[in-house]
Amino acid sequence: MRSMTTKPPAVAASKAATKNTPTPVLLTTAQVSAMLGITVRTLANWRCAGTGPRAVVGRSTGGVRYHRADVETWIRNEWGVSTMA
């Protein structure tokens, strides 16, 4: 018989997988524009033109955020620059 304090294997495995999965880091428009050395307006123009890093727009708030990994990939692809320190 299993102890009442032991979690079922499926729950334990699910929680372990969640711990090992990195949480995506979302950046604001101001943070991304600072990373790129451009104005917020330029970043907004790039977003509207579809030429900048991929953006995520909130459904309820309409707020724009960027996944850090998407921004870093865009920098590597567009500028050929490594973002790793």
35: Cα within 13 Å, side-chain hemisphere: 22
What predicted TM-score, i.e. pTM, was given to this entire model?
0.65
| pLDDT in the model for residue 42 | 97
pLDDT tens-place values along the chain, 85 residues long: 544 555 444 444 445 555 666 666 899 999 999 999 999 999 999 999 999 999 998 887 779 999 999 999 999 998 776 655 5
| pLDDT in the model for residue 54 | 94
| pLDDT in the model for residue 29 | 95
For residue 32, which of 78, 70, 77 has the smallest C-alpha distance?
Answer: 70
